[in-house]
Amino acid sequence: MSEETKSWNARTSAFRELDRRSLSRDAAEQLREAIRDGSLRPGQRLPSERALAAQLGLSRPTLREAVCALVIMGLLESRHGAGTFVASATDAPGARVTIDIREDPLAALFELRLLFEPPAAARAAARVTEAELVNLAALLEALSEQVGDADSFVVSDARFHRLIHTASGSEVLLAALDSIAELALRGRTLSGGSRAVRERTIIEHGVILDALHRHDPFEAGAAMTAHLMHIRGSLIVHTD
């Protein structure tokens, strides 16, 4: 393949990605408007992915990204084994989160997590106590036992990450990460719906914990980055 052909293919791929993102944002805006005008009511279950994609004239992956964005914004709720519903408190203070749809909530969430969590893991590697390591190991064991229970797994996963944040010894990092904890939980609710993601998360948490045991800041930060990149990718290809 010539260099010109490779360059053309790269540009074509980039344009397709931009087009998909534009379609996803448009779809999210349509759904958000339906929630605002009452066409979709609080507590109402969304149609099946196949039916809704056909209704909006979208591919299923594009629709998934739009739904992910609205879940992270707090307008939709993903319930394991039940489907996706309009959030029951969309008009409550704080229910409409924070990140405008035009800002790409999924990208914004992981930009923040990638900014703060790897440094927190690196700092934790240098400061973590034996007691904290014991607690992290117990949480990792709990995750292994909960791999078949998505709801319990998500809770333990959040606790595992926050214990690392606390072990970093940085009040600034802890405050920053606590401020996006609700957004991160919504992302976990989506990614945690896949058993394959849960199983891989256990492996990746084990790598992070091993780096913490060895008090290796570089490896701890790198392992956390790899884990977050995997989770971000899993949200794009999320399936019900």
Q: What pLDDT score does 53 carry?
A: 87
Residues of the chain with CATH 1.20.120.530: 105-236
Measured over the CA atoms of residue 38, residue 43, residue 44 and residue 45, the dihedral's sign is: positive
Calculate mean pLDDT across residues 187-199. Answer: 90
Parts of the chain belonging to CATH 1.10.10.10? 3-101
The pLDDT confidence band at residue 3, using thresholds 50, 70 and 90, is: low
Q: CATH class for domain 3-101?
A: mainly alpha
The CATH H-level (homologous superfamily) assignment of domain 105-236 is GntR ligand-binding domain-like (1.20.120.530)
The mean per-residue pLDDT over the stretch 173-197 comes to 88
pTM metric for this prediction: 0.68
Q: What is the pLDDT of residues 25-83, one digit of tens each?
A: 788 888 888 888 888 889 899 988 888 888 888 888 888 888 887 887 778 888 877 88
Q: Per-residue confidence at 187, pLDDT binned at 50, 70, 90? A: confident
pLDDT in tens, 65-78: 888 878 877 788 88
Residue 224 vs residues 1, 38, 82, 160, 161: alpha-carbon distances, Å: 36, 41, 31, 12, 10
